[in-house]
Amino acid sequence: MSRWSAGSTPGSVKPVYGARYPPLHHASPTKGTDIPGRMNKFQDYENSVSDAWDTRVKVDESLASASAAKVLAAHAAGKTHRDEEIMPPVSAAPTKNSRQQALQRLAIQKEPLPSSVSATPQTANPIYPKLPEISDQPRSAAPMASAPPHGRKFILSIPLCNLVIEGGDRDQTRFARLRRLFSNGKSSGRSSPPVDMLKLDQADSFWCASALLDSIQDNYTFAQPGIQRKVLQLRHLMSRVDRPLHKHLESNGIEYLQFAFRWMNNLLMREIPLRATIRLWDTYLSEPDGFMQFHNYVCAAFLRTWSKQLQAEKDFQGVMILLQNLPTQSWGDREICELTADAFSLQSVFDGARRHLSAQAASP
Amino acid sequence: MTAAPYNYSYIFKYIIIGDMGVGKSCLLHQFTEKKFMADCPHTIGVEFGTRIIEVSGQKIKLQIWDTAGQERFRAVTRSYYRGAAGALMVYDMTRRSTYNHLSSWLADAKSLTNPNTAIFLIGNKADLEDQRDVPYEEAKAFAEENGLTFLECSAKTGSNVEDAFLETAKQIYQNIQDGSLDLNAADTGVQPKQNLPRAAENNGKKDCNC
């Protein structure tokens, strides 16, 4: 098995899982001292199944059924193994650090990922057809684009498919920038980018997107539960920080989901000009949990920026049309500074005070 | 637009549905702004538009929800079907796949709206006649089979766009007049003026419908 087993590729769905709750390679012996032989047995069993995520490995039928029989026998005998935690919590700091180092190593790695990952079954949609921006590169001239390791496709297709919305819209992903860079040569017969550079940029783009989406992945899973939850939190927060506006919205039949869905889905990118978005996201990157948590306070601050104007509108359509077309065309650094300052003060008051927030807001 | 907010008799709620890229947002924009939006960004979730029209001398305010065509937003867009008086089901007549998906859009529309909802079938991009991929007769037959009203229009040139929205309103208004649409029932998508919250106190405020 190479070092890039399917179960240990950083950034894939499985390793995220594994980073916080690593597999029991170092099963803690703190409580398992009752039977000396048990530890070894467990370790043997663990070793035999630790590659279960790896779809290439064929399951040893006899071993599996023997293990199952053991478990069944143990249960039948009334033995419980409460001390064997399935997902022991680990301290975040060292894991995170080593993960970051792994990310950095990967980002500067010049080789494509080892071929072992290409054995991953191609069940997911490949990302390349979804990226028309780069798929029109001459394939023979750009081997990275034409023959990416399949394992990568698998990983890329998960987080990036959601970013492609914006990539298609406004050329804001790095992929799109890359494409523009090289499509300048279009008229004089398209020149292909240096393969090394393409590789670096691809890795770079991937890890950037991966890091960005790590904390907000459930914004983009089926039915987008992350967004639903955040919109509800925004509603609670507004009922606390700007009650007149909150009441005004409610009395006009406006639901927060009707306007804030886009705020959450596109991280305010559609509401403010690009230069302001870059400035805002820069703050998100520098805040712990910026995209996940701080964003919500920014949305609240953003909404109350328009409090007066919104309250001047006296019916559903007036408020709704204004909310969809907020006059932010001239926004720049200054406005974002004020916005994030307000958001920060909201966060320092309300963060972690969930009950405080929701106790009264539940019945507005 | 000159109509003041209080100057209408009914509010009708509409939804616009159909595959991604068939021109739903452009239809709405053409209808509300009378302009063609060339580089229309993807709709995220839903967007809202409004305009006051006149049917049989009655002023009617249309509240139109333009939904995202992308599958990923389906969970959100489905919640807007409920309480729609009219549904515009749009396909792109230059792309057959968007026409082939109509049956699933229709199934959604039928199951999630109330039985009185006026469902219209709209073939968009009629200006691209030379790229036509769906014959008029075929779509017409599909519409008749399913009890829909069918129109071909172009959000680019604006042809038939007014009609698409006006005919829907006429049909809804007709249903109110002949009693088949009961205004006291829940989720009809029709709101008579007297039931509007705070409608009376809004006079003198600036109009905001444009």
pLDDT reported for residue B141 = 97
Position with higher pLDDT, A273 vs B114:
A273
Contact B198 A320 (CB under 8 A): no
**CA pair distance B94, A100, nearest whole angstrom:** 49
| pLDDT, tens only, A330-362 | 999 999 999 999 999 999 998 876 565 554 444
Task: Say what percent of chain A tops pLDDT 90.
Answer: 35
- Return mean pLDDT, chain A: 69
Tell me the pTM: 0.66
Model confidence band, residue A66 (pLDDT cutoffs 50, 70, 90): confident
Asked which of A60-64, B76-80, B202-206 is least confident by mean pLDDT, the reply is B202-206
A207, A283: one domain: no
* CB neighbour list of residue A72: distance below 8 Å, 6 or more residues apart: none
**CA pair distance A139, A134, nearest whole angstrom:** 10
Model confidence band, residue A212 (pLDDT cutoffs 50, 70, 90): confident
Residues 158 to 197 of A: which have CB under 8 A from any B CB? 162, 165, 168-170
pLDDT reported for residue A53 = 54
Q: What is the 3-state secondary structure (H, E, C) of chain A?
A: CCCCCCCCCCCCHHHHHHHHCCCHHHCCCCCCCCCHHHHHHHHHHHHHHCCCCCCCCCCCHHHHHHHHHHHHHHHHCCCCCCCCCCCCCCCHHHHHHHHHHHHHHHHHCCCCCCHHHHHCCCCCCCCHHHCHHHHCCCCCCCHHHHCCCHHHHHHHHCCHHHHHHHHHHHCCCHHHHHHHHHHHHHCCCCCCCCHHHHHHHHHHHHHHHHHHHHCCHHHCCCCCHHHHHHHHHHHHHHHHHCHHHHHHHHHCCCCHHHHHHHHHHCCCCCCCCHHHHHHHHHHHHHCCCHHHHHHHHHHHHHHHHCHHHHHHCCCHHHHHHHHHCCCCCCCCHHHHHHHHHHHHHHHHHHCCCHHHHHHHHCCC
pLDDT reported for residue A105 = 55
A230, A353: one domain: yes
Model confidence band, residue A129 (pLDDT cutoffs 50, 70, 90): very low
Which two structure tokens, joined as six digits, stand for A150? 């399949």
Contact B42 A315 (CB under 8 A): no
Position with higher pLDDT, B192 vs A258:
A258
Model confidence band, residue B156 (pLDDT cutoffs 50, 70, 90): very high
Across the interface, of A162, A251, A324, the residue whose CB is closest to B48 is A324
A216, A288: one domain: no
Find out whether B114 and B85 touch, Cβ atoms under 8 Å. no
Give the burial class of A230: count Cβ atoms within 10 A of its Cβ; 0-12 exposed, 13-18 middle, 19 or more buried.
buried
> Mean pLDDT throughout A207-232?
91
How many distinct structural domains can be found in chain A? 2
pLDDT reported for residue A141 = 40
A207, A309: one domain: no
pLDDT reported for residue A185 = 43
pLDDT reported for residue B184 = 83
Residue B105 belongs to what H/E stretch? helix B102-112
Contact A253 B72 (CB under 8 A): no
| pLDDT, tens only, A141-157 | 434 443 344 333 333 33
Which two structure tokens, joined as six digits, stand for A118? 């290409």
To the nearest whole Å, the CA of B74 is away from the closest chain A CA by 8
Question: Chains A and B: how many Cβ contacts under 8 Å?
Answer: 65
Contact A315 B48 (CB under 8 A): no
Model confidence band, residue A161 (pLDDT cutoffs 50, 70, 90): very low
A252, A211: one domain: no
> Does the pLDDT of residue B78 top 90, yes or no?
yes
Model confidence band, residue A191 (pLDDT cutoffs 50, 70, 90): low
Contact status of A257 with chain B (Cβ, < 8 Å): yes
Model confidence band, residue A77 (pLDDT cutoffs 50, 70, 90): confident
| pLDDT, tens only, A283-305 | 998 988 899 999 999 999 999 99
To the nearest whole Å, the CA of A269 is away from the closest chain B CA by 12
To the nearest whole Å, the CA of B96 is away from the closest chain A CA by 20
Contact A223 B75 (CB under 8 A): yes
A321, A304: one domain: yes
Residues of A in contact with B72 (CB under 8 A): 162, 220, 224
Position with higher pLDDT, A117 vs A104:
A104
A241, A286: one domain: yes
A173, A262: one domain: no
> Mean pLDDT throughout A34-62?
63
> Mean pLDDT throughout B73-89?
93
Contact status of A229 with chain B (Cβ, < 8 Å): no
A237, A343: one domain: yes
Contact status of B200 with chain A (Cβ, < 8 Å): no
Provide the residue range defining the domain that includes A319: 225-361
**CA pair distance B72, B45, nearest whole angstrom:** 9
| Cα–Cα distance list, A333 to A160, A205, A330, A339 (Å) | 28, 25, 10, 10
Task: Say what percent of chain B tops pLDDT 90.
Answer: 79
A216, A258: one domain: no
Look at the domain B8-190 and name its fold. Rossmann fold (3.40.50)
Asked whether residue A134 is assigned to any structural domain, the reply reads no
Model confidence band, residue B182 (pLDDT cutoffs 50, 70, 90): confident
Position with higher pLDDT, B17 vs A60:
B17
Strand partners, B101: none
Which chain B residue's Cα is nearest to A318? Answer: B208
Mutate to test the interface with B, among A166, A249, A317, A321 (most CBs of B within 10 A): A317
Which chain A residue's Cα is nearest to B44? Answer: A262
Contact status of A265 with chain B (Cβ, < 8 Å): yes
Q: What is the ipTM of this complex?
A: 0.87
